[in-house]
Chains A and B, each alone.
Chain A
Amino acid sequence: MTEPAPLVEVRDLARYFDVSRPIVQRLLAREGRRILRAVDGVSFAIARGSTLSLVGESGCGKSTVARLVVGLYAPTRGEVRFDGQELSAARRDPRQRRRMQMIFQDPYASLNPRWRVRDIIAEPLDAFGLLPDAAARRDKVAELLTQVGLSPADGEKYPHEFSGGQRQRISIARALSSNPEFLVCDEPTSALDVSVQAQILNLMKALQAELGLTFLFISHNLAVVRQMSDRVGVMYLGRIVELAPAETLFTAPRHPYTRALMEAIPDLAMTGRQRTPVGGEVPSPISPPPGCAFHPRCPLANGRCRAERPELRPYGETAVACHAVEEGRAG
């Protein structure tokens, strides 16, 4: 049996940023260019109709991957394939472009405050010329508003008249308007409170089931990730260190960093368990540590870890980049 081709495939994706100081200052201080490796060799595939989530500490490159995958950044290296086609080629074709959309973290910043909600939602439709006339536009907007749990009358209002959760619903309606198959959701509920978060997550799951959507989902909330994902990639300093089916990752995490992240979750049951913050500092992506980037914080680090970078290797359905796991000394 051959598996169906994934909708999205990412191979050895990298994006560097030049964060050098201005040339005069650099010459005075005799320093070279400073290159920040925000994403440095990430590979994954997302099956149609499934959800891949990325988790990891702030600054590890999750949003940069999201932006690369929808073409908002050009890769420094590697490639993204969307439905078998190389991304930049797909982006040049409006029929392909409308099949992918992005939902941003901040429902306050991502909606144009001077536009009515109906025009915000219809913007992708107008841009892709998907509507025959004004009546069709009105009907489609009404349908989208209803689909995300708002009322058609809300289309006449402006974004500031809505709460955070309602604004995120508007962002979702907008993202859905061009009938996309692939949605990149960068922290879609981080700005929302728990009860609204529960509603939005339920809405996203229902829409996925109904429309067969494929998600790249980014969140730093592991409980949310557990609810939403089929597969999860754990990122550290621009790379994926563990990639596994969600259930496996949560019941049997293998990479020392994944385990540390789970330990760091606050204890809601108030059993008195002290949460253990991941020890040490997040290293600088400008000068990452040699060998395994996690070694300065890893309890299992040894000489090999300090010298040789571990590659992502498969162990059954899980892939892990760790020498200790490979050597069978990770427990």
Chain B
Amino acid sequence: MSVQFLSGNEAVAHGVRLSRPRVVAAYPITPQTVVVERLAEMVEDGDLAAEFVHVESEHSALALVMGSAAMGVRTFTATSSQGLLYMAECLYYTAGGRWPIVMMNANRALALPWNIYGDQSDSLALISSGWIQSYAETAQEALDLVIQSYAIAEDLRVRTPVLVNLDGFVLTHTYEPVDVPEQEQVDAFLPSPDFPVGYPGTFNQENPQSLAITAGPGDYTVFKFKQHQDMVAAAGPIREVDERFIQHFGRGVAGLTEGYQLDDAELVIVTLGSIAGTVRTVVDELRTEGVKAGLLRLRYLRPFPTAEVLAGLFGPQRSAKVAAIGILEKDISFGHQGTVSLEVKAALYEAATQGALPPAINFVAGLGGQEIGLADIRRFFTALAEAAQGQQKPLVQFLGMEHAQ
């Protein structure tokens, strides 16, 4: 293991190199480009024995790795923003076909207005596409998630593609020391990049298969039911992979969520991605001032970790009642709330039968690269404290638009 000073994008490229995909196809798009450039260099230098295919679009990139996966090999692609939306058709196709593709997405705003900076509206728009979705907090976690994603996606119980998300620029372009494992360590952790003969969804000379078949009205439901069931059940294999990763590499988080100062927290911010780091810092500051602040970070949005969210907020290990919940995300589902807020609140409904729920505020912040500072997160906690005391608050609050709402 060697510690290197890497950006989030470079960490992803190293995670991919160590996972030895046989085929890489990607179309460069800001802020993902560095991933593609590094992988191209690695292939050129002989550090990665993969077919690197230049494609004319993101749609082609995902279609190409889908075909490669159907030939029975590990694959990788990466995109961002408009590119992810352009791929949308192929996202559903690959998920429905159950090909274990791993893709990195640099979370970036969607046009219009034109904007190349970070927010999470791209991947959240495709949350129902059937892909597993994870969100990295750090470059280290991004590298680790890539390796873990192959173990999860290729598990026979899962067979579902994985989208690993990194906040554009804030995580893709910032540098930190990253533990880069040795090739032998990763080889011992992952199965062969050549799938075994007869692996579902792959061509087979001995026993010819028609892949990507038509299914009429009744049969279609069976396949969709199975897709859903297997995605829900994927939480188990994800946790197993996390635990095996910790044993194997000596670091990591076990579970689809991560709590920080959570068990006695009265004011909890639920969030995802790199902003969790800033929230941790504010939680530490508030704790020194006697405010019982806490963080619940969602590492995975699909499968949605309902049980873990409920356990974190209402579980028997808690020593204090949660008095207010803030859901902080870089997204808005126009006409309702942020997508993550909708997801979290749907999970909370499961707990509603056990008693009244605390007030919840959706903080929409960081749109189009908007900076979210320590002072902003402090204000979010203040708003939660006031809501906990019974003050009426807008349910959805846009950072920077306080004067207008």
Task: Answer yes or no: do A and B interact.
Answer: no
A residues contacting B by CB (< 8 A) are none
B residues contacting A by CB (< 8 A) are none
